[in-house]
Amino acid sequence: MKIFCLLFVIAATAGTVFFYGCARSNEPTLTLNKKPDGKTLVVYYSQSANQNTKIVAEWILQQTGGDFFEIEMLTPYPDSYNAVLEASKQHNEAGILPEIRPFNKDISDYDLIFIGSPIWYGTYAPPVGTFLASADWTDKTLVPFCTHGGGGSGKFYSDLAAACPGAKLLDGLAVRGSNVVERMLRRSTAHKESPDIVVEWLNQIIR
């Protein structure tokens, strides 16, 4: 009986260690071929409780290094999903740029700028529009990334190009938000994204 109990304790401990080892592993298995030249900035807006876009932004920063800036509204959207739908629709339709916490550094110092947004109504979220309107993008290299609910990147890239005249745009990354969350919660093995998706993408655009 004692031996049985001992074996049980050993098995349970090993199982726990294995589980936590897996659960904590959020490291990419792929390697970045080349770090970006110059100074990099990763900017993002993320609204939902899952913080899908923030997670992808962190995966990018993990690879590129550089500065990180979260776009935050001075008066955030309400927490309820329906209220966000309504308020952001009004902003979109009326072309309202909601006030955000200012970015206190100089955009002209950066050589490569990643811009991330959830896809809302087929494009970037209004607070991202506020950020874009706050700087001169001439000759800057911009890299869009987004998370979405299944509709893909929509008009994000073309709207970004229109909002940032004179900028050079590199190919963007669009990730289904629920797949990011599945990854973080380790719930599903069928549909989950890992930081590898970011490394694969960066290896294509940074040469």
Ligand X SMILES: Cc1cc2nc3c(=O)[nH]c(=O)nc-3n(C[C@H](O)[C@H](O)[C@H](O)COP(=O)(O)O)c2cc1C
Positions in the binding site for ligand X (CB under 6 A): 46-48, 50-54, 84-85, 88, 118-122, 147-151, 154, 177
**What DSSP character marks residue 37?**
S
What is d(CA 193, CA 201) in angstroms, rounded to the nearest whole number?
A: 13
Q: Give the residue with the Cβ less far from ligand X, 58 or 111.
A: 58
Query: Residue 54: is it exposed, middle or buried by C-beta count within 10 angstroms (0-12/13-18/19+)?
Result: buried
Minimum distance of ligand X from residue 80's CB (angstroms): 10
Q: How far is CA 124 from CA 41, 97, 146, in A?
A: 18, 12, 8
What is d(CA 183, CA 178) in angstroms, rounded to the nearest whole number?
A: 9
Q: Give the residue with the Cβ less far from ligand X, 113 or 146.
A: 146
Q: Give the residue with the Cβ less far from ligand X, 47 or 130.
A: 47
Minimum distance of ligand X from residue 58's CB (angstroms): 11
Alpha carbon of residue 58 to chain centroid: 7
Minimum distance of ligand X from residue 179's CB (angstroms): 9
Q: Give the residue with the Cβ less far from ligand X, 150 or 166.
A: 150
Minimum distance of ligand X from residue 150's CB (angstroms): 5
